[in-house]
Amino acid sequence: MSRVLEFPTSERKAVTILQQLESGAEELEELYATLDELHRQLHDAEESATVLENNYNTNIREYVKHVDISEVPLVLMQYSSEARISMNDDVITFTLADKEELNED
């Protein structure tokens, strides 16, 4: 005996689509919750970085009071948002921004 295939009726299609919509809504809700948490973590990390950068800048300013700025390793200067680099005749010079420069930034 042969099997008869039923063509989907409008009602069946509607049920299938509704199931897909409900499943999609659940997945989207989970993803949105994940995104909200990641945004919160990013915001917290940015705030922590700002505090750490300010402390770092304060420490580097204090350090150059005790040693010549040319003695500060490049790797340490690169993390200071107040460090300025200039190059003349293949000579690299580091300075720290003064208060006026910082206010302009």
Q: How many domains does the chain have?
A: 1
Residue 80 lies in a domain: yes
pLDDT for residue 101: 65
Residue 83 lies in a domain: yes
- Ordered mean pLDDT values, 10 residues apiece, the chain (105 residues): 72 93 98 98 98 96 93 91 86 80 63
DSSP the chain: -PPPPPPPPHHHHHHHHHHHHHHHHHHHHHHHHHHHHHHHHHHHHHHHHHHHHHHHHHHHHHHTTTS-GGGS-HHHHTT-TTEEEEEETTEEEEEE--HHHHHH-
Residue 3 lies in a domain: no
pLDDT for residue 63: 96
pLDDT for residue 53: 96
pLDDT for residue 29: 98
